[in-house]
Amino acid sequence: MEHSVFERQGQLTDRLVSPAAYNLVIGLTLLWGLLCNWWMVANISTDWLRGINPWVFFGGYFASCMLGVSLFARSRNALVSFVGYNLVVVPFGLIVNLVVDRYDPKLVQEAIRITALVTVGMMILGTLFPAFFRRISSALTVALLVVIVVELVEIFVFRARHGILDWIVVVIFCGYIGYDWGRANQIPKTLDNAIDSAAALYMDIINLFLRILRILGRK
């Protein structure tokens, strides 16, 4: 997804870190978010979540996500960006908790494994062919918006779901992972940019995981 972080060219006051440290911070930040989600799934009751008023739940979800994205996308302070990242991780974790509760644990593990392998593969491609992913970034955004609109119309107007849309979304988020990873390694290597890049990748990965899980569950 397009975030202002990927347009940064750095300032003289930005403290650069080595490529190894930069990628390590991205990896650790991603790991932190995923471990938080794992803890939430293991410890937060889905019955309690379902008992929350839907307007309150989804209102809080969107408010937290938008505030979090605003913080990490606009801030040049690593700590502020990390706070914003967690404001995205928590509501995403609640959604993941509700979704995985509907599936067999073995199926969830399979979805995690596939997501991890696809993510690594797309990161490699994003490193090798960053120019290609830059060229398709606008098409990815348009395609995602179209799919969202089509899904909403299908669900709320025609009361139907089509499996092909899940496959399309998987392809779109594969493209986003390659794009975001390629761009992450082209902007100035600062701690703040590492956290911001990890936040963008985290959202790509979680959306990819949820769609892969739905596809596996349908089978």
pLDDT digits (tens, 9 = 90+) for 105-121: 999 999 999 999 999 99
What 3-state class would DSSP assign to 98? Answer: helix
Number of domain units in the chain: 1
Identify whether 103 is part of a domain.
Answer: yes
Residue 127 lies in a domain: yes
Instruction: State the pLDDT confidence band at 5, using cuts at 50, 70 and 90.
Output: low
Sign of the dihedral through C-alpha 202, 35, 102, 51 = negative
d(CA 124, CA 154): 35
Report pLDDT digits (tens) over 140-194: 999 999 999 998 888 888 777 778 889 999 999 999 999 999 999 999 999 999 9
Residue 91: is its pLDDT beyond 70? yes
The answer to whether residue 5 is domain-embedded is no
Name the 3-class secondary structure at 104.
Answer: coil
Q: Is residue 176 part of a domain?
A: yes
Instruction: Count Cβ atoms below 10 Å from residue 149 Cβ, excluding itself.
Output: 10
pLDDT at 99 over 60: yes
What average pLDDT does this structure show over 71-79? 92
Q: Is residue 9 part of a domain?
A: no
Check pLDDT > 90 for residue 84: yes
Angle in degrees, CA 199, 33, 96, rounded to 5? 100
Residue 95 maps to a domain: yes
Residue 6 lies in a domain: no
Q: And the tokens for 134?
A: 């830059």
122 domain residue, yes or no: yes
Q: Which of 214, 137, 149 is nearest to 182 (CA)?
A: 137
Q: Which domain holds residue 22?
A: 14-218
